[in-house]
Amino acid sequence: MESNLTNEGAAAHIQAQFGAAVVSVDMPYDMLTMEIAAERMHDVIEWIRSDAELQIGFLTLLGGVHYPNDKGREFAMVYHLHSWTKNFRIRLKAFLPAENPSIATLTDLYDGANWMEREAYDFFGIQFNGHPNLVRILNEDSMDYFPMRKEYHLEDETREDKDDRYFGR
């Protein structure tokens, strides 16, 4: 399938619609990556689905990333979307502060977002406003921390027989 949509064209098209909500545009490894203000993320995803020029209507993946040293932007929510009619992929990011990592849910647009958002909550503690059932999914319910956050090391920190400088991060 030939795509007549270019990264630059799509970026300009989205920027023309949302203006300042588009914080930055990048194209690592030829994939359009845009940072969107968190409060507009839902609107952008809704709009790119219905816009005739983009028709980006398949939610491929969503998930969190933790950047503990980035003050005020400790959590990132990364959305991968795909237009099957134009064969065009896009990656949208929103950064959230550690005090209140919350973003609007996509469950009203994509039913498939339900479990992926529960997973992001389970791993990182990101709150999805409007999610119908935001509870843990893979870990047990009584767990009292969010294990994918960087402060939780994979191995027991009191171990002395392994030196982290030689074995992983």
Partner 1 sequence: MSTFKEDSAYDMPHVGLSNETIDGDIATLNLGPTHPATHGIFQNILQVDGEKILSSEQTVGYIHRAFEKLAERRPYNQITPITDRLNYCSSPINNIGWHMTVEKLIGAEIPKRVDYMRVIVMELARIADHLICNSVIGVDTGALTGFTYLFQEREKIYELYEEICGARLTTNVGRIGGFERDFSPEFHRKLEDFFRTFPKVFNEFDSLLSRNRIFMDRTRGAGPISVERALNYGFVGPNLRAAGLDYDVRVMNPYSSYEDFDFSIPVGVAGDTYDRFMVRQEEIRQSLKIIEQAWKNLPEGSYKADIPEFYLPPKEEVYNNMEALIYHFKIVMGETPIPAGEVYHSVEGGNGELGYYLISDGGRSPYRLQFRRPCFIYYQAYPEMIIGQTISDAVLTLSSMNVIAGELDA
- The residue among 57 and 97 lying less far from partner 1, judged by its C-beta, is 57
57 belongs to the binding site for partner 1 (CB under 8 A): yes
Provide the minimum distance between the beta carbon of 16 and partner 1 in the complex, in angstroms, as a whole number.
25
Which residues ranging from 98 to 117 are in contact with partner 1 (CB under 8 A)?
110-112, 114-116
- The residue among 18 and 115 lying less far from partner 1, judged by its C-beta, is 115
Provide the minimum distance between the beta carbon of 113 and partner 1 in the complex, in angstroms, as a whole number.
8
123, containing H or E segment: helix 113-124
d(CA 156, CA 153): 7
Q: Which residues pair with 92 in a beta bridge?
A: 34, 79
Q: Which residues, 6+ apart, have CB-to-CB distance to 27 below 8 Å? A: 7, 33
CB 153 within 8 A of CB 127: no
Q: Which residues, 6+ apart, have CB-to-CB distance to 166 below 8 Å? A: none
d(CA 117, CA 127): 9
168 belongs to the binding site for partner 1 (CB under 8 A): yes
Give the x-and-dash track for 132-161 against partner 1 (CB under 8 A): -----xxxx------xx-----xx------
d(CA 18, CA 146): 33
Which residues ranging from 18 to 47 are in contact with partner 1 (CB under 8 A)?
28-29, 31, 33
Residues that bind partner 1 (CB under 8 A): 1, 28-29, 31, 33, 57-61, 63, 65-66, 78, 80, 84, 87, 89, 91, 110-112, 114-116, 119, 123, 137-140, 147-148, 154-155, 166-169
